Amino acid sequence: MADEARPLSIHVGDRAGDVSGLLLLPPNAWSLYVLAHGAWAGMRHRFMERIAMALEGQGIATLRYQFPYVEAGGGRPDPQPVLEATVRAAVARGAEVAPGLPIVAGGKSMGGRMSSNAMARAPLGGVRGLVFLGFPLHPPKQPGIARAEHLDRVECPMLFLQGTRDTLADLELITSVSGRLGDRATLQVIEGADHGFAVLKRSGRTDAQVLDELALATAIWLRRL
């Protein structure tokens, strides 16, 4: 039976206040992934819950957390400085509640991008790498790489987990971006997956199998850090 995620509070700052978090810390945990959600779904979204459980199966603890606008009930995402401050606060809280575990940060779509933006601006204390669950390279039907320019200033290792049907990351472009980053970047292509890592029935795979693939790829990469 899977362990229960422990609710906790994360203080972002005097203006942003506190946000909620969920710590899933298996007894055999050997690493902690501070895991941010995407733009339009919070930490309790089905994908976030299921990827946390899949990572737990690999011995990877997760700290999921809300951005302030989701904590307040939804609406438009917060300004980028607030999003980045939330990432920093979550990383610091992760170090407090899981002392001694190596930490990586990142997350789903916007959450991963805000984590890398924060890291590009100033290193996230104690974070050894970044894991992107579908890096949102560009808006749908608007291919481009402007959103990846800041990655040149990220000095830690990065893992890009990208579906071949992801409409927010043209495969040729994300391959070019990761190649430009050299040894710092690892691109793991998930065949047939869209931006939410769903696959078509005719693929012969289930969404659960894709989640297991994501978790295993993350664990293998983390072991090499």
Domain range summary for the chain, segments of one domain joined by +: 6-223
120/104 Cα distance (integer angstroms): 15
- What fold characterizes domain 6-223? Rossmann fold (3.40.50)
Which are the contacts of 77, defined by CB distance < 8 A and separation ≥ 6?
Answer: 39, 67, 69, 83, 110
This prediction has a pTM of 0.97
Per-residue pLDDT 10s for the chain (225 aa) are 457 899 999 999 999 999 999 999 999 999 999 999 999 889 999 999 999 999 999 999 999 999 999 999 978 999 999 999 999 999 999 999 999 999 999 999 999 999 999 999 999 999 999 999 999 999 999 999 999 999 999 999 999 999 999 999 999 999 999 999 999 999 999 999 999 999 999 999 999 999 999 999 999 999 999
CA distances from 82 to 88, 166, 207 (A): 10, 27, 33
